[in-house]
Amino acid sequence: MEQNLTFAELGLSKEILQALEQKGYGYPTRIQAEAIPPFMQWKDVIAKAPTGTGKTFAFG
């Protein structure tokens, strides 16, 4: 997965992008960049990543 992928490139809505900006999130972590696209297609995802890498945030 590309390192400097943006949340906008993941196809998130304008409202979500605004909320992310307000919260100070600039770029998705690797686990977020890999998990969000299948979520948006209503696919089940099983993911494993170290603590503190943004897994819970990706599911939010």
pLDDT (tens digit per residue) in 9-40? 999 999 999 999 999 998 999 999 999 999 99
What predicted TM-score, i.e. pTM, was given to this entire model? 0.80
pLDDT at 18: 97
State residue 57's pLDDT score. 73
CA dihedral in degrees (6, 41, 56, 47; nearest 10)? Answer: -100
Domain boundaries defined on the chain: 8-59
Q: How many CB atoms lie within 10 A of CB 44?
A: 6
